Chain A
Amino acid sequence: MADLEVKGLSKAFGGVQALQNVDFQAAKGEVHALLGENGAGKSTLIKCLGACQSYDSGEICLNGKRLTAVHPRQAMEAGIGIIFQELSLIPNLSVADNLFLGMKLGNKTSVTRKRIACRRAEKIFEEFKVEGIDPEQKVESLSLSEKQTLEIVKVLSRDPEVVVFDEATSALTANRVEWLFGLVEQLCRQKKIIIFISHRMGEIRRFCSVVTVFRNGQNVGTRLLTEVENDELVQMMLGRKIAGYYPEKTDTCREDAALETKDLFFEHYLDNVSIRLKYGEVVGIGGLAGQGQNALLLALSGAVKAQRGEILLDGKQAVLKNPKQAMAKGISLVPEERATEGLVLELSIADNLLLPVVSDIARFGLINRKKEKELLDHAVESLQIKVGNIDNPVNSLSGGNQQKVVLAKLMMTHPKVLLLYDFTRGVDVGTKNTMFTLLRKLAADGNCILFYSTDMEELVNVCDRVLVMDQGAVKADLSGERLTEENILKASIGDGVA
């Protein structure tokens, strides 16, 4: 009998069968990867495992004993530790308080708790070799990568028997990924059961030994990673063969500049950024996480105003007071947190899509139903959004499909300049392919696209040109032959580029 065994697990959300009679096994000392498109059922399986969600039928056994947890705390006590993709940290509490959230700390209600917590946090950070995080700091003030690190340490410090990484690397900076790699190796030696969810093939190959593929809520097979090719895995995930992972790059760049910045400056965030983007061009922004990329996109989209410097649109100075004004001028942003900044989760898919264009299709306050339907059909079709019913709320969709809705929503306004912030984070291969194809098509139609990603492979294969940012400044402008992953990495870490 396997150490962790899931037998006949089923779970339905309304009419959608998220898990269908899933069997799954994992053994101690192995790193088990879960692969699958967004909405394939990986996250649901993990949530059932961690008792964050109930299931309709089936059972989960750990070391031959059936798990009966109904609250996340009980699952934790049973030895299941889950590092969530959606960060479950409390922004208003200190790092130390987060680390020991819901835990007993020796003396229950003592003023010295804070000191004890800080001291123990320091010890834990030392044990896990984490540097640069102050236990007294509020979590709010940490960067995304640091938050993810803290989330990992928080779960591991509770010494669980089963460790689940649910896209734990998606927000980590490159050196932290190395750190995690060492950590996983150590967990392996300690004979833990490790489950690893990621969309990055390279990481899966590095971290894992076994892989189980999910498709449409079913387990479609488990393979040893040494005996399986990427193509076969992709085929298992998709159930069909896709021609190329990345669309072909063609030079569609035009002469005239679309968007220019001159010495854009914001203390601690932007350091005299001057860039020039042309129509028909896909420009990437690279660099380590948190080097001002977000600030640049926010400034360009009108969401925040830079302290100094100017933005030029079509060669004329543009005053962008807010995103609405920027959108009216043809600049649209896909924000960092798609859930909180890009969509109104409780509204229906249709309403979300129509939000930016309501005034266009309405006359005297009434909405033109025919026009509305035309627009919606076109949007759903062009992006291949998997929707049950367009009137369902957006939060009924999986992450990847939500991201497609964000993009479709922006396309409704026919922007000239598209700003994309890490919009492939947590998106599966099939969806990425659709999105990249769309990006290239938009560029060919003469749009200008600025695209920030933490995935260098993506940048190299999708963009015509990549700007590498470091400490708020653009340190390198790579194109043509010079556009390679090595060069991006070199520029990010402050090395000169040949």
Chain B
Amino acid sequence: MGNQKNRLQRSFSNLNIWIPYMILAIILIIMGIYQPGVINFNWLNRQADAWVTLALAGIGQTLVFMIGGTDLSVGGVISFTNCLAAVYMPQSVPGILAFSLGILLIGVLAGAFNGFIIVKFRLQPFIATLTTWAIWSGAALCILSVDGGKVPSLFTKALLHKFGSVKVSLLLLAALIVIGIFFKASRLGIALVSVGSNEKGAYFGGISVTRTKILVYMISGLLAAASGLFRTAQVASGSPTAGDSFILLSCASAVIGGCSVATGYYSFAGAIVGAVIMRLLTGLMVATGVSSYMTSLLQGVILILAVCLSSFTALFHNRKKMEVDV
């Protein structure tokens, strides 16, 4: 009996987790009503390109959120890797492969640097990654002061390739969801929740807090670099400000995706859905003729609504418990 009640309570607290999926469903229904027949497999294939860049950054941001940090440098890393690939990527197949790996490595190193200075010098993640964002953005500007560059067509083709009728982006999204399930069950996946939830307890429990934090920032850097590569292939040019919009959007994806340090919940799928929602809403705004100046404003409003909503459901849940409410 007590057990049953517990289950019920647990599923109630899990309501939060379903919010991104419900929002997505609502948006899709609205789109289906206004533009009947537009949502089909081809549409999915086309949209996946736009989704995947943001989803990658959003997953990185989610993981960083879960250890109680923030990673603003994703914007800088995306701009930098985008410009670097657009300007210097060679034409040959081995060259492209080596260069792509090199760029991913740069992302990992950028993340490692973030993690290192945050852990070793005890910096506020916000300040630390704000400065590294400036550094990478600056580096991007040094390479490419205005939009341009020439991307090898082979590279573009490779990342936009269709296996049968399924695009690489769509496959990657599916792969990320699966990877997410394994990641959550991995030791790092559990360690990062414990670090975010009770750092001292994790340390006493034998978890290397330093290592976990640096690893998480490294993953975030890696995903940002991957996002930069995809962006390069999709746009076939470089832009020194390509990544800037990703800062707000990646945070929004993470929050809408339902991750929460307070409850210890996160998932890759949630972050991906968060990214999809942000992309769809932006698309909707463009389709309904909202000026591009307004887009950022509205994105901000959406983010704050999402944050309030997730905190409200947590609050509602706590009402049932006899706890001190400040």
Q: Which residues of A contact B (CB under 8 A)?
A: 50, 52, 71-73, 76, 82, 84, 86-93, 97-98, 101-104, 108-114, 134, 137-138, 141, 154, 266, 268-269, 295, 298, 303-304, 341
Contact A72 B197 (CB under 8 A): no
Contact B182 A109 (CB under 8 A): yes
Which chain A positions have C-beta within 8 A of B208?
71, 73
Contact B6 A137 (CB under 8 A): yes
Contact A108 B193 (CB under 8 A): no
Contact of A89 among B196, B198, B207 (CB under 8 A): B198
With A72-B204, A72-B206, A109-B182 as contacts: A93 and B6 at CB distance below 8 Å: no
Contact A102 B182 (CB under 8 A): no
The docked-state distance in angstroms from the alpha carbon of A103 to that of B190 is 11
Contact A108 B198 (CB under 8 A): no
Which chain B positions have C-beta within 8 A of A87?
201
Which chain A positions have C-beta within 8 A of B261?
92
Contact A303 B207 (CB under 8 A): no
Contact B193 A90 (CB under 8 A): yes
Contact B201 A88 (CB under 8 A): yes
Contact B187 A109 (CB under 8 A): yes
With A110-B185, A266-B322 as contacts: A84 and B197 at CB distance below 8 Å: no
Nearest CB of chain B from residue A192's CB, rounded to whole Å: 19
B181 at the interface (CB under 8 A from A): yes
Contact A298 B207 (CB under 8 A): no
Q: Name the CB-closest residue of B to A305.
A: B325
The docked-state distance in angstroms from the alpha carbon of A108 to that of B202 is 19
Which chain B positions have C-beta within 8 A of A101?
190-191, 194, 202, 205-207
B153 at the interface (CB under 8 A from A): no
B99 at the interface (CB under 8 A from A): no
Which chain A positions have C-beta within 8 A of B206?
71-73, 76, 101-103
Nearest CB of chain B from residue A126's CB, rounded to whole Å: 17
The docked-state distance in angstroms from the alpha carbon of A52 to that of B6 is 36
Contact A298 B322 (CB under 8 A): yes
Q: Which residues of B contact A (CB under 8 A)?
A: 3, 6, 9-10, 181-183, 185-187, 190-191, 193-194, 196-198, 200-208, 261-265, 322-325
With A90-B194, A92-B264 as contacts: A108 and B204 at CB distance below 8 Å: no
Contact A341 B324 (CB under 8 A): yes
Contact B324 A52 (CB under 8 A): no
Ordered by A's residue number, 8 sampled pairs between the chains whose C-beta atoms are within 8 Å are A89-B198, A91-B197, A92-B196, A92-B261, A101-B205, A102-B207, A113-B185, A138-B264
Which chain B positions have C-beta within 8 A of A304?
322-325
Q: Name the CB-closest residue of B to A113.
A: B185
Contact of B190 among A76, A97, A112, A138 (CB under 8 A): A97
Contact A92 B204 (CB under 8 A): no
Which chain B positions have C-beta within 8 A of A103?
206
Identify 9 new A-B residue pairs, CB closer than 8 A, beyond the known A71-B206, A84-B204, A111-B185: A73-B207, A88-B201, A88-B204, A92-B193, A93-B194, A93-B264, A109-B186, A266-B322, A304-B323
Contact B182 A111 (CB under 8 A): yes
With A101-B206, A141-B6, A298-B324 as contacts: A90 and B198 at CB distance below 8 Å: yes
Q: Name the CB-closest residue of A to B182.
A: A109
Which chain B positions have C-beta within 8 A of A108?
186-187
User: Among the interface residues A90, A98, A108, A137, which one has the most CB atoms of the partner chain B within 10 A?
Assistant: A90
Contact of A90 among B181, B205, B263 (CB under 8 A): B205
Number of A-B contacts (CB under 8 A): 103
With A90-B194, A97-B190 as contacts: A134 and B205 at CB distance below 8 Å: no
Which chain B positions have C-beta within 8 A of A82?
204
Q: Name the CB-closest residue of B to A266.
A: B322
The docked-state distance in angstroms from the alpha carbon of A154 to that of B324 is 29
Nearest CB of chain B from residue A220's CB, rounded to whole Å: 28
The docked-state distance in angstroms from the alpha carbon of A272 to that of B186 is 47
Which chain A positions have C-beta within 8 A of B323?
304
Nearest CB of chain A from residue B118's CB, rounded to whole Å: 19
Contact A90 B197 (CB under 8 A): yes
Nearest CB of chain B from residue A294's CB, rounded to whole Å: 8
Contact A92 B324 (CB under 8 A): no
Which chain A positions have C-beta within 8 A of B322?
266, 268-269, 295, 298, 304
Which chain B positions have C-beta within 8 A of A268?
322
Contact B187 A102 (CB under 8 A): yes
Contact B181 A111 (CB under 8 A): yes
Q: Name the CB-closest residue of B to A270.
A: B322
Nearest CB of chain B from residue A393's CB, rounded to whole Å: 17
The docked-state distance in angstroms from the alpha carbon of A295 to that of B201 is 26
Nearest CB of chain B from residue A163's CB, rounded to whole Å: 15
Contact B181 A88 (CB under 8 A): no
Which chain A positions have C-beta within 8 A of B197?
90-93
Q: Name the CB-closest residue of A to B197.
A: A92
Which chain B positions have C-beta within 8 A of A111?
181-182, 185
The docked-state distance in angstroms from the alpha carbon of A266 to that of B322 is 8
Q: Name the CB-closest residue of B to A304.
A: B322
The docked-state distance in angstroms from the alpha carbon of A9 to that of B196 is 34
Which chain A positions have C-beta within 8 A of B324?
298, 303-304, 341
Which chain A positions have C-beta within 8 A of B190?
93, 97, 101
Contact A91 B198 (CB under 8 A): yes
Nearest CB of chain B from residue A112's CB, rounded to whole Å: 8
Which chain B positions have C-beta within 8 A of A303?
324
Which chain B positions have C-beta within 8 A of A341?
324
Contact A134 B3 (CB under 8 A): yes
The docked-state distance in angstroms from the alpha carbon of A480 to that of B183 is 62
